[in-house]
Amino acid sequence: MRLPRPTTAGAALLLLAAISQPAAAAWQTIGEVTRVERAGNAVVFATAAGSALAVTLISPSVVRVRMTPAGKPAADFSYAVVPGANAGISPVVVDAADRVDIRASGAIHVVVEKKPVLSIRIYDGNEHLVVGDDPARPLAFDAADGAVEATKLRPDGELYYGFGEVPLPLARQQQSFAFWNTDAGNYPPGSGPIYQTIPFFIANDFRAGGRSAYGLFFDNTWRSHFDMGARDPARYSFGAAGGDLDYYVFTGGTERSPANVLRDYTALTGRGPLPPLWALGYQQSRYSYTPQAKVEEIARTFREKEIPADVIYLDIDYMDAYRIFTWSPTNFPDARKMLSLLHGEGFHVVTIVDPGVKVDDKYAVYNSGRDAGVFVHDAGGNELHARVWPGICAFPDFTDPKARAWWGGLYAKSLAEGVDGFWNDMNEPATFPAEDSTVPVTMFDASKTFSLDVKHAGDGSPGTHARYHNVYGMQMARATNEGLHKLRPEQRPLVLTRAGFAGIQRYAAVWTGDNIASWEHLALTVPMLTNMSVSGVPFVGADVGGFNGTPSAELYTRWLQAAVLTPFLRTHSAIDTEQREPWTWGGEFERINKETIELRYRLLPYIYTLFAQSEADGTPPLRPLWFEYPRDAKAALVDDQYLVGKDLLVAPVMQAGSTKRRVYFPKGDDWIAWWDGSRHDGGTSEFVAAPLARLPLFVRAGASVPTEPVIQHTGEAKNAPLTIVIAHGGNGASRIYEDAGDGYAYRKGASRTIVVTQGDAGIELAIPANRGFQRVAALEIVGLDAAPREVKIDGKPTTARFDASTRRLHIALPNEAVKRVALAK
């Protein structure tokens, strides 16, 4: 049993003395510093408890702290950190009698107090305290079972965001979490982190004027926990059941901005790559579309009804008795023909692939994996067998490079057949309880995954499943992604995963798993997805309509509206639910759903631009309001609205029967209604009309948003001209990114960025030479109260069309050489 934590530094020393006795419990503090030395860029502290603590300045705004209880750190290896990203910089070190100061010139400053117990404080470049240890609860570890824990002081009013995929409201203060990836079907609101483990958060104290953001990432794959003031609002703590206490603090630079924090976190753990354009289109799925004729019917109906769509998913029933990388000979007798037909209609196809490989001596995939020795073994050294969809299965050890290479090569067959993308499911890893079990199974039940003593290769650091459980799904996605890159190096892959760990954004998109068709779960989508976004994962979405259960026509329609501008847009439903396509309810609902999806396609050039920005600097396409407005305290808890980039504000309806809703407009900018051009002052709340047919959508004054005409699939985008919608009444510059939509030529310069600047002198355009990209054909200025007296293009009068009902002025451009457009009142 763990002893109570000490309440003062003196008590901590008494506790340390007490637990040094043989009969005492194993928890102990790190103790005082006994020696300080340099080891490359790290400053290493030996302590009285026999532990070692290393402080490394990763950059002028990032510090790493690594405490090894036993004093001899293992090899410095991380699945989360990009290789080489934590090498560090050489610090300036001043070693005094009672403390050590570690600095980067003009930037981060770390103070390590030596006595009575080692304690750390971290300051920004302005010498403002970022975060500090609680001296009453020093760094501690349990020498018996290997657990570790740290406690930090928490200012009253400091709020926390991130932690990945947690079905809770937006802010995380006074909440506690345990990170252990689980198959969480029908997860209730309020449950802990479910399929994903991302032990990273961004803090912000709005009372400090929005200049106090910082981030903390705990790089530990064991079962870990955070208490963000739930037990005591004056402090927060984090720890794990094993491994080192290895964490990074991101100060946010001199600006202390959330964007800088996320920039530095994603520089460390990687950034989501630019996806293929088709992966940003509308996607339709069901468990399951079968047989082959049904899939073809779904595709044909989309085209006949002219509802845009790019992707159709095939769930587990496409396989032969759930054997991965096979086709059902009964239901899909000619899969190649079907895939070719769908490609001809502009569709891409994504198939589900689970990690369980059926144990069957007549099954080539199993025989290949067994002979290659790539499957996980139990504690006794035998091939681990557990039950999932195909029955008794073996499972690749994705922490073994040999297994990842073997797994990646399996996709060659599917690619040759015409499959375009892959959906990794059941990879927490999830297993089924024994068929004869009489014990109730709970959400986090141990019987739903591998035994903790199962063996893993650990990429050269062998360990048990207790250590590697939380990275299993991430490494499966990695194996898939790397295999696809090797097989088709000229194409950008689409990999979708249910489970992951910090850094998963390098390999896959993520969806929020088996949600429920309810208004309550619809309301959860915004805080879940925005917190995933600020956890470094840009390509996120939730199953439209809810996976489990059947939504009403109204719920589905409102859910589709709420999701239409989220990064990953897919309708998906369980096998025991009614059909759920955009036309299912017919009549008015079909018309509205079609127009909602059309809105997505009109705004695809903007969404694509945001993904390009995300790859460059880690800024996510989907953002909570506070992320862009960290000085606006009223934005701190808004979890039923979101920003798309910094320029579009979405306020979906999330209550049954509502035809209006209150919208908060962030302070610092004015906002213009997308549909009617009405203006709304920043820092105010208003009730706005929200009829069933309309998503409340607003554009930031001064922004320029690229749009295109409605297309049926992204294959038609190249020939679709751009219209740049400019929100009148604000100054600012916007960038519009274009490339081929697939492949990697853009990394060698085959792209262009258009810059649109709105100022007092008018609208300035900087449009580089067009090398086969969508051409800029028109400007549309929204938010005008009346038609201007005159419109000039490069000083010459021209005609323009004004629509008073939408307050929009449409200006056709003669060519892309236009430099300036001016309006005269």
CA-based torsion, 186, 192, 196, 201: positive or negative: positive
CB 140 within 8 A of CB 29: yes
Q: What's the pLDDT score for residue 11?
A: 32
496: three-class secondary structure by DSSP: strand
pLDDT of 26: 84
What pLDDT score does 514 carry?
97
CB 783 within 8 A of CB 701: yes
134, 264, 397, 428: the active-site residue: 428
DSSP character for 227? E
Q: What is the pLDDT of residues 326-356, one digit of tens each?
A: 999 999 999 999 999 999 999 999 999 999 9
Q: Tell me if residue 615 falls in helix, strand or coil.
A: helix
Cα atoms in the 13 Å half-sphere on the side-chain side of 350: 26
Indicate the pLDDT class of residue 209, thresholds 50, 70 and 90. Answer: low
Cβ-based neighbour number of residue 478 at 10 Å = 25
Q: pLDDT class for 441, splitting at 50, 70, 90? A: confident
Six-digit token pair at 354? 């689970």
Give CA torsion, residues 717, 718, 719, 724, to 10 deg.
Answer: 70
The string of DSSP letters for 232-293 reads: -TTEEEEEESSS-EEEEEE--TTTT-HHHHHHHHHHHH--PPPPPGGGGS-EE--TT--SHH
Annotated catalytic residue, options 113, 354, 425, 739: 425
> In order of start, what are the domains of the chain with their CATH numbers?
9-269 (2.60.40.1760), 284-352+403-430+468-623 (3.20.20.80)
Q: What is the pLDDT of residues 217-242, one digit of tens each?
A: 999 999 999 999 999 999 999 999 99
SS3 714: helix
pLDDT of 16 reads 30
In whole angstroms, give the CA distance from residue 431 to residue 448: 5
Average pLDDT over residues 699-705: 98
Tell me the pLDDT band of 825, cut-offs 50, 70 and 90: confident
* Cβ neighbours of residue 748 closer than 8 Å, sequence gap 6 or more: none
170, 161 in Cβ contact below 8 A? yes
Are the C-beta atoms of 114 and 100 separated by less than 8 Å? Answer: yes
Q: Which of 32, 264, 514, 738 is catalytic?
A: 514
Contact 358, 330 (CB under 8 A): no
Question: Which two three-digit tokens encode residue 555?
Answer: 């719920």
Spatial separation of the C-alpha atoms in residues 724 and 818, rounded to whole Å: 13
Name the strand (E) or helix (H) holding 611: helix 604-617
Give residue 10's pLDDT.
33
Q: How confident is the model over 134-143, as pLDDT tens digits?
A: 999 999 999 9
Q: Are strands 697-700 and 704-707 parallel, antiparallel or unpaired?
A: unpaired
CA–CA distance, 69 with 53 (Å, rounded to integer): 8
Question: CB of 783 within 8 A of CB of 679?
Answer: yes
What does the mean pLDDT of the chain come to? 95
Average pLDDT in the 38-47 region? Answer: 96
Name the packing angle between helices 553-563 and 519-533 (round to 10°).
10
Q: What is the pLDDT of residue 210?
A: 58
Report whether pLDDT(476) > 50.
Answer: yes
Q: Phi and psi at residue 479, in whole multiples of 5°? A: -60, -40
Contacts of 184 (CB under 8 A, 6+ apart): 191, 194, 195, 443, 513, 514
Please check the confidence at residue 265 and state whether its pLDDT lies above 70: yes
Q: How far apart are CA 676 and CA 307, in angstroms?
A: 24
pLDDT of amino acid 306 = 98
Identify which of 604, 542, 526, 530 has the alpha carbon closest to the alpha carbon of residue 309.
604
Averaged over 622-646, what is the pLDDT?
Answer: 97
Distance between CA atoms of residues 755 and 763, nearest Å: 10
Q: Is the confidence at residue 3, as pLDDT, over 50?
A: no
CA dihedral sign, ordered 43, 45, 51, 53 = negative
Strand (E) or helix (H) holding 123: strand 119-123
Q: pLDDT over 90 for what percent of the chain?
A: 92
Q: What percent of the chain has pLDDT over 70?
A: 97
Q: Which residues contact 570 (CB under 8 A, 6 or more apart)?
A: 282, 283, 284, 285, 311, 313, 511, 541, 543, 544
Q: What is the pLDDT of residues 763-811, one digit of tens each?
A: 999 999 999 999 999 999 999 999 999 999 999 999 999 999 999 999 9
Identify the pLDDT of residue 435.
Answer: 80
**Structure tokens belonging to residue 271:** 């950034």
CB 647 within 8 A of CB 685: no
Q: Is the pLDDT of residue 22 over 60?
A: no
Inter-residue contact 611 to 738 (CB < 8 Å): no
- On the question of a cis peptide bond just before residue 291, with omega within 30 degrees of 0, the verdict is yes
Mark whether 514 is an active-site residue: yes
Q: What SS3 state is found at 640? A: coil
- Residue 108, classified by CB atoms within 10 Å of its CB into exposed (0-12), middle (13-18) or buried (19+), is buried
Between CA 175 and CA 172 the distance in angstroms is: 6
CB 360 within 8 A of CB 366: yes
